[in-house]
Amino acid sequence: MGVLDRFSLQGRVVLVTAGAGPLFGRSISVGLAEAGATVVTASRSKERNEQFAVEMRQLGHDVHGLVFDQEDLASIDALHDQIQSRFGRLDVLVNSALALDGHVGVFEKQTPETWDHAAKGDFAGLFRQCQRAVEIMKKEGRGSIINIASIYGVVSNDRALYEGTEMVQPPTYNFMKAGMINFTRYLACYYGMAGIRVNCISPGGYFNQQPAAFVQRYCERVPLGRMMGHEDLQGAVVFLASDASAYVTGANLLVDGGWTCH
């Protein structure tokens, strides 16, 4: 097998949570489909996932849209049961879903209930996704789990970036993403002998029509001089999903334009 062949995902079934979403999810799913995978996207929106699947199939890719709620453990179980019933396997899980409505408000205004709500999807939901995926992958003797974390799970916020804007970075987000990174290491150690690799990707700031002042400050601070775009995560995800990274586990791959270099 040549080195480029190791990046192929032909014959692999991949689940991308929030995989039809407008930010990371959609671009991740496109990259995996272009690498040859059978891609299943799932989130609360049936219409969005099915429409995305139709668009991708028209381009010749094998993509399917399903529905689940990251905050509902029974819904997560039903999703994995459906994948096993339809495809008979799960080779790769990409945890891209984020319960955005659980991450609101500055530290002074958050409440214990805010944290409980964030934890329901982004801790309990993440746990159950991984637990069900491991259950399937152990039977195959191989698999790859990729958790999408953040630079804010590695370093804290630069408050100067947000001055003069209404943007807020809730502390629940930092707490959750940092926990995700170490949870990744735990799973990597615990299931390595079962042939399951578990890695993390920590993206930098994704351009999403933020205020001009924020964008300018961000671009001036990051070594590559720009915010992340739609295609910047695709190569990293395909690498970690494929045999090209067969000896990589427990890693936190920083895709941040050099943000965390200083």
Which residues in 223-252 are b (16+ Cβ under 10 Å) and which e? eeeebbebebbbebbbbbbbbbbeeebebb
- The answer to whether residues 83 and 133 touch, using CB atoms and an 8 Å cutoff, is no
Structure tokens at 254: 């920083």
27, 43, 96, 150: the catalytic one is 150
Strand pairing class (196-203; 252-255): parallel
Paired residues of 38 in beta bridges: 13
Q: Choosing from 177, 191, 218, 245, which is the catalytic residue?
A: 177
From the number of C-beta atoms within 10 Å of its C-beta (0-12, 13-18, 19+), residue 59 rates as exposed
- Catalytic, 46? Answer no
Q: Is 242 a catalytic residue?
A: no
Distance from the first to the final alpha carbon of the chain:
39
For residue 92, the SS3 value is: strand
Q: Which helix (H) or strand (E) holds 42?
A: strand 38-43
CB 203 within 8 A of CB 218: no
Active site residue 120: no
Active-site entry in 43, 96, 173, 191 = 173
Task: List, by residue number, the catalytic residues.
Answer: 150, 173, 177
